[in-house]
A and B are shown apart, each in its own frame.
Chain A
Amino acid sequence: MPTVRLRDAEEYPEPIQKLFEAAKAWFKYDFAQPPAMSRVMAWDPELGGFHGRAMKRAMTPGEWTRAEKEMVAAVVSGVNACAY
């Protein structure tokens, strides 16, 4: 159970809702609500914007494929014992 109240997408300002729409395009998934992490990062757009761009840059295929990077992410999450 989250320790904060996760806002619905509709509770965010219009510019943020546009970002959520962009997230739908990225995931190619018509979710009822954006993922919890997206909504958390959108709480502070000035931080979340930078963080999200860094994340997207880090995960973009380069010398390593996206799949290889996802496995790196999985082991880091595993070592950190993070179920999310």
Chain B
Amino acid sequence: MNETSQRGKLKVFLGYAAGSGKTYQMLEEGQELLRRGVDVVIGYFEPHGRKDTIAMTEGIPLIPRRTLEYRGTAFQEMDTAAILARRPEVCLVDEFPHTNVPGCERNKRWEDVEAILDAGIDVYTTMNVQHLESLNDQIWQITGVRVRETIPDWVLAQAAEVVMVDVTPRALLNRMERGVVYAPDKAKKALENFFQESHLAALRELALRQTAHEVDSRQTLNDGMDVNPGGATMDGQDPDSQERLLIYVTSEPSSAELIRRGKRVADYVHAECFAVSVCPSAELKNMSATQREAIERHLNFARNLHIETRLLPGEDPAEALVSFARLHEVTQIFVGRPRYSAWSPLLGRNFVHRVVRLARNMQVTIVAERHRGASAARS
């Protein structure tokens, strides 16, 4: 996708929980645009029954949603075609990570937004940090929730502006409590609050760091003189980058976490990023169908995150991996941590060890799966 001067600008209001005021702030800025005579419309708005938020929409033209039927139920979605036909200067779109109901042209709302931007319309949108793809494992580790609706990091990276909508966890909890009836089981509630508050604090920290990172990438992009290259280009293309990172993908379920972690590191240090998998003699037949599917799924996942992927033939995975790395001047190889069993003392012969020995002048990072809860107690 080539950047053209006609493409619309994306502005993201980033938060870390429902009720933090993202939508309110977006609408507030919409009102400011309206006052200045900018042609601004609401493309999608989720009122959630909040009175002051609804009041903020007053005067901003609303593009009606369209209704689709799926399995006998009516769903309301953003009417992207109507927005494109209306051609406003700025379009406000709530809930960026939303997944559309089957039957829409596009699966994801962020894909709809891409189309709107492509038409030269600026978009303001809202999202929580937990929907960012590369943070998926950490979010799970903190909250125990596996977020399904994710946005690839490059989508956020191409935003012209990311603004943190900050509120403290305590204020958030107070807000919630003011709205609910006093719970009879006080102790239970206190306990719940404790977990809620610590989780919220951790999510908030992630949102603050992510915004700092977004600000950082944009500085270096805006300033052509800077020796530190900007990392926010869409494919991690960076003429000054010294680093190249290679992720080794297998059929193991942990590959998804490995890919996310590798890509995140690559983005932060402005490295180019590849992902490869190795299969014996270009012969996928010997593999079980489920294994084959898993590898294809993982490589496909990597491509969606804008990682260049290859499926390499080779009898010896370690050898094939390192040869590819050498050929492409890779500086760092990412592999998953082996699954150790108590009765395998021949550690020196394992895959990781061979990669380390063969890689000679390259760095090898062994990525460990993150655990929930008592990770600190393990050893």
Q: Do A and B bind each other?
A: no
